[in-house]
Chains A and B, each alone.
Chain A
Amino acid sequence: MEGYPDYDVTAEQDSWDSKTRLVLERRVVIIPKLLFFNPDEARSLEAAVARLLPQTRREPIPVVPFVDEKLARNVTDGTRYEDMPPMRDLWRLFVSTLDEEAQVRHEKRFGALEPETQDMVLGAILKGESRSLSWKKLPARLAFEHIVSTVAAVYYAHPSAWSEIGWGGPKYPGIYVRVRCGRKDPEEAGEVGHVRD
């Protein structure tokens, strides 16, 4: 087994500043209620997110509720590329394209497909090879980047994901002392299989 099975970034949390603790506690504890997607849409999106960022952990990091919250509040990212619809329309279109594409190819809803089939359908959509006309019109690369990076931002904002990848965490107050190659401070993650460092 690789990675950082023994590392828990939150072991240090008592030393973090109060503002940071507050932000992270809210993120971990308060899961937003769905306001933007209807239950059918949310189910399809859940199925897609499970393939976009597969999780094997016992307690999965919730992603869809935070995407929903971003959309409900219309928290935009600063850029609307000219050929792209407004962010909310893009996500509705993405979710409806999932089911449409699954229907056309396999006569099922996206959520009812096997994971491997879901990957094929998703892959086609993300590459802009969807048969759905309205999705086809979008700049595929930009739509792909927005959808996947929005999902990844939710996931990699969660302390469990930080532990998973061996990231050092907020680290404030505090200071890294042994920062050169082959060295680490005692509280930093040690990777299984790596003797040096």
Chain B
Amino acid sequence: MSATNVGHADVVIVGVGAAGAVLAAKLARAGLSVVALEAGPHRDSEDFASDELSMLYELFWLDERISSGKDPIELGWPNSGRGVGGGTVHFVGYALRFHEDDFRTKTVDGVGEDWPISYQDLEPYYTEVERFNQVSGPTFFPWGPYQGPFPKRSHNPSCMHDTFRRGCERIGARSTAGPMFIITSPTKDRKPCTYRGFCKFGCKPKAKSSTLVTYVPEALRHGATIIANAMVTRVNLGKTGRVESVTYVNKGREFEQKGDTFILSAYSVENVRLLMHSTSASFPDGLANSSGVVGKFLMVHSADFVIGKYDAMIRQYRGPQGLALTQEWYSRKPDDGFVRAYTLETETLQPIEFSKALIRGKGLWGQRLVDEMQDYNHYASFGIVGECLPSENNTVTLSDELDGFGIPRAKVTYSYLDNDKKVIEHSVRKCEEIHDAAGAIETFQYPGSAHLLGTCRMGDDPKTSVVDKWCRTHDVKNLYICDGSVFTTGAGVNPTLTIEALAARTADYVVETKKRREL
């Protein structure tokens, strides 16, 4: 089958999620011709059903991946989206910056690796994306390098928010309503949050600043072309050592999109699958993989919940899905017996996920499961976002099994390191203390992980990293990788704000590079 040639663009972007949408918007705004290819559909917010089950099977990347290792992770629901907007269509929306030390864990704590960039490099871009997304937040944020202000006021406190913060106060820990990617007052075509806890299932009022309702319309307004249902199957290297085109499949037909600059923003599993599948004489082990690092140093966040049962009604379905948080124990030092960071956050579990929590967390089935579900309104759910350190042994590789496009399925191997386990232990204990202080009658732990980071990591040394500090691959001059997969370390916060800030910075660099060449 020969692919139909569909023309040439200044920039071709693969994946329109948190990073791809920011890139498309900024590059198109700068006057470049942009084609962005997205494997899933381009939905309108009105397409979302206000229904947990059907959205669980619509918004997430659920093509099978094989999960192995000592602590095999759940893929799909906790960590990857499908469709324009990507994971931001189903993220909870905590908009947290890294702290300064998060960029230099090796220097400060002797673990992990230092990023080739600092907080100061990213600082203006954090501000830029917070403004564009109209992040809502508290008047004073107590931890880290940035105390506010945020573009919009924070959300009305819900019962779960109050319960969490009451518990924190009683054990002497500061807490706050979090900065959120959710607006609190209307904009031109978006309504404020309606407090029904549906952030993970597509936000119908468009209150949540997914890139579907922020950067994607901006990209289209400036003339970017977004092609939905376009699964990129190969990145094609030309004779000059530059990428010439990508091949994609749309409605069963194969197309070839040529371009000048290419950016992969398909996240930590699909980027690797695509690079590993795009072998050539010069890159027998996968494109841009002369280092052998592609697919290595995969990181997640430990995302265990501690769920407390109360005599009083909590009704956790109300409020934005996430709201209150504390970073009171953010920077751990060797004296604590472990190092690095975590954040504690509230997160609503709607009925189906709550049943899963009881099944996985308490091993319930039968009458006991039905009985505990009956008390759904008496439970409050607090979650951890725990930093997991990079390890060469945590990987994304190709399996022997092919998917429907003829690309080998990904095999994801994950095992927690000792320090990761100590982060979990400590943060779970703190959650329990907060619940106890707030008046919980009992608690249980619902283990899990979230987010996919690393696998194409950023660094100065081409032997130990895949991209440089601008997200350009060390090996191929006109190929960039830009999304969570370039994270050198993961910090103890939700990654989206940092992914968008990185994308905003890379976009500026691509524009400058092109200008310089024209002069």
Point out residues on A near B: beta carbons under 8 Å.
2-3, 16-17, 19-20, 22-24, 27, 51-54, 75-82, 119, 122, 126, 144-145, 148-149, 152-157, 161-162, 164-168, 170-176, 179-182, 184, 188-189, 191, 194, 196-197
Does residue B365 face the partner (Cβ distance < 8 Å to A)?
Answer: yes
> In the bound complex, do residue A152 and residue B62 qualify as a contact, i.e. CB atoms below 8 Å apart?
no
> In the bound complex, do residue A175 and residue B365 qualify as a contact, i.e. CB atoms below 8 Å apart?
no
Which listed residue, B72, B319, B354, B355, touches A179 by the CB 8 Å rule? B319
> In the bound complex, do residue A176 and residue B64 qualify as a contact, i.e. CB atoms below 8 Å apart?
no
Interfacial chain A residues near B121, Cβ < 8 Å: none
Interfacial chain A residues near B157, Cβ < 8 Å: 179-180
Which listed residue, A22, A79, A164, A176, touches B196 by the CB 8 Å rule? A176
> In the bound complex, do residue A181 and residue B366 qualify as a contact, i.e. CB atoms below 8 Å apart?
no
> In the bound complex, do residue B369 and residue A171 qualify as a contact, i.e. CB atoms below 8 Å apart?
no
Give 1 or 0 for each of B175-215: 1 = CB within 8 Å of chain A CB: 00000000000000000001110100000110000000000
* A184-B315 contact, Cβ under 8 Å, with A126-B365, A172-B194, A179-B158: yes
| Complex: A54 Cα to B49 Cα, angstroms | 28
> In the bound complex, do residue B52 and residue A157 qualify as a contact, i.e. CB atoms below 8 Å apart?
yes
Point out residues on B near A: beta carbons under 8 Å.
46-54, 56-57, 60-68, 72-77, 80, 156-159, 162-163, 194-196, 198, 204-205, 312-315, 317-319, 350-352, 354-356, 359-360, 363, 365-367, 369-370, 373-374, 376-377, 411
> In the bound complex, do residue A153 and residue B66 qualify as a contact, i.e. CB atoms below 8 Å apart?
no
> In the bound complex, do residue A176 and residue B62 qualify as a contact, i.e. CB atoms below 8 Å apart?
no
> In the bound complex, do residue B196 and residue A20 qualify as a contact, i.e. CB atoms below 8 Å apart?
no
Interfacial chain B residues near A191, Cβ < 8 Å: 313, 377
| Complex: A3 Cα to B373 Cα, angstroms | 11
> In the bound complex, do residue B53 and residue A2 qualify as a contact, i.e. CB atoms below 8 Å apart?
no
> In the bound complex, do residue A171 and residue B48 qualify as a contact, i.e. CB atoms below 8 Å apart?
no
> In the bound complex, do residue B62 and residue A174 qualify as a contact, i.e. CB atoms below 8 Å apart?
no
| Complex: A1 Cα to B162 Cα, angstroms | 30
> In the bound complex, do residue B355 and residue A2 qualify as a contact, i.e. CB atoms below 8 Å apart?
no
Interfacial chain A residues near B80, Cβ < 8 Å: 78
| Complex: A173 Cα to B75 Cα, angstroms | 32
Report the nearest A residue to B401, measured CB to CB.
A80
B48, B73, B319, B370 — which one has the most chain A CB atoms within 10 A of its CB? B370
* A170-B50 contact, Cβ under 8 Å, with A54-B370, A148-B359: yes
* A77-B62 contact, Cβ under 8 Å, with A20-B49, A145-B360, A172-B50: yes
Nearest chain B CB to A192 CB, angstrom units: 11
Interfacial chain A residues near B53, Cβ < 8 Å: 27, 153-154, 157
- Known A80-B67, A172-B204; 16 more pairs at CB < 8 Å: A16-B50, A17-B50, A19-B49, A53-B369, A75-B62, A77-B62, A79-B74, A145-B360, A156-B354, A167-B351, A170-B49, A170-B196, A173-B205, A181-B162, A181-B312, A184-B315
Which listed residue, B64, B196, B198, B360, touches A76 by the CB 8 Å rule? B64
> In the bound complex, do residue B314 and residue A181 qualify as a contact, i.e. CB atoms below 8 Å apart?
yes
| Complex: A155 Cα to B356 Cα, angstroms | 12
> In the bound complex, do residue A79 and residue B312 qualify as a contact, i.e. CB atoms below 8 Å apart?
no
Interfacial chain B residues near A196, Cβ < 8 Å: 312-313
Can you list 7 contacts pairing A with B, beta carbon distance less than 8 Å?
Answer: A20-B49, A23-B54, A75-B57, A77-B76, A78-B61, A122-B365, A172-B50
